[in-house]
Amino acid sequence: MAVAAAHPNIALIKYWGNRDHALRLPSNGSISLTLGGLHTVTRVRFDARLAVDVVRIDRRPATPAEHARVASHLDLVRGLAGLAARAEVTSASDFPVGAGLASSASAFAALTLAATAAAGLDLGRAELSRLARRGSGSACRSIFGGFVEWRLGDDDASSFAEPLDESAAWPLADVIAIVSQSAKPVGSTEGHRLAESSPLQPARVASAPSRLAACRQAILEQDFARLAEVVELDCHLMHAVMQTSSPPLLYWAPASLAVMQAVRAWRAAGDPVCYTLDAGPNVHCVCPASTAGAVAARLRDVAGVVEVLTASAGGPAALLSPDDPRLALL
Ligand code: DP6
């Protein structure tokens, strides 16, 4: 048996679209910040007496779709370990499910680490990242802490994430303006398949290396103005692809746009804050950690914002000892 915890992450340069959907080989590289304070904790126990995998998520049985996705990830681990036994998987997250955070990133990072350890495998972090990628693309980044880059790679063996700055020497925060708690109508997995139907996707993919370079340099030089410019451009490009796919994906709510406009006005007035949105209407506002409290207070005053969550840089996915207080989540 093994228990692992992992954090979600927010992409500063987005993963959208795959070259190979089955292997989750992305169309472009991406860069993220791992979000501390928010966790998924997962316990895996292989048991030869089980006839099927038993999966519980957030203290309820997994839905058939969730069960199938977890079981096929366990199959990859069983294949690597030469193991036939089924497993009991218990997983829970401490951030609101309706928060629009990609819980699949923390979930598959924690599952990968717990399942490989429970199966007796001792994989290096690049191997863990590769394997986590197969469960959910963004999960390959949650194996690491701080600023992380998922390099495109050429194939299954070479597509994994690695730390850009795991200590996150630049203390940034993600202040999340929650404008809707309802589940998104089209999830990321389906969205990645639709990306290729947009006439804008080739242009977005072709220009990704220059945004990755600008983002890397902004992080290295702690240059907020440069970061803000490239993060918002990359977000707009991904949403332009989403909005021009067939069928189109419109993730923004009226309040999303209100927050985006407010953030641009604050920045124009000299405050270091910028935004990015994933496949949902909630707005991630990135700012120096020292100003996160002030940004959160302002966001609460924007009409349509129902809740504000703040996260600063978090560490890598980790195995937990049996007396870790985070086990109480399960
Ligand atoms: C918009 O990693 O959630 O959040 O591989 O199908 O699980 P799957 O997709 P997922 O896609 C993330 C999309 C995004 C951008 C990002 O996190 O890079």
Tens of pLDDT, residue by residue over 166-185, are 998 999 999 999 998 776 67
**pLDDT tens, position by position, 132-160:** 999 999 999 999 999 999 999 999 999 99
Average pLDDT, the chain: 95
Ligand 1 center to residue 3 CA distance, Å? 24
Whole-number pLDDT of residue 96: 72
Share of the chain above pLDDT 70, in %: 98
Contact 11 CB / ligand 1 (< 6 Å): yes
Most confident of the ranges 103-107, 222-226, 319-323 = 222-226
Atom of ligand 1 nearest to the CA of 102: 3
Nearest by Cα to 106 from 71, 138, 78: 138
| CA nearest ligand 1 atom 6, residue | 189
- The Cα–Cα gap between 292 and 8 comes to 18
**pLDDT tens, position by position, 69-98:** 999 999 999 999 999 999 999 999 998 765
Mark residue 49 as left, alpha or beta (left: phi above 0; alpha: psi -120 to 50; beta: remaining).
alpha
Statement: residue 99 has pLDDT above 60: no
Asked if CATH classification 3.30.230.10 holds for the domain at 1-322, the reply, yes or no, is yes
Whole-number pLDDT of residue 182: 73
- The Cα–Cα gap between 196 and 295 comes to 36
Contact 281 CB / ligand 1 (< 6 Å): no
- The pTM score is 0.97
Statement: residue 5 has pLDDT above 80: yes
Place of tokens 């966790």: 39
Whole-number pLDDT of residue 186: 81
- The Cα–Cα gap between 177 and 295 comes to 10
Token digits for 238?
A: 């991904």
What pairs with residue 285 in β-bridges? 175, 275
Residue spans of the domains in the chain: they are 1-322
Atom of ligand 1 nearest to the CA of 10: 17
Whole-number pLDDT of residue 123: 97
- The Cα–Cα gap between 36 and 312 comes to 5
Contact 188 CB / ligand 1 (< 6 Å): yes
Statement: residue 22 has pLDDT above 70: yes
Ligand 1 center to residue 127 CA distance, Å? 19
Whole-number pLDDT of residue 100: 61
Contact 249 CB / ligand 1 (< 6 Å): no
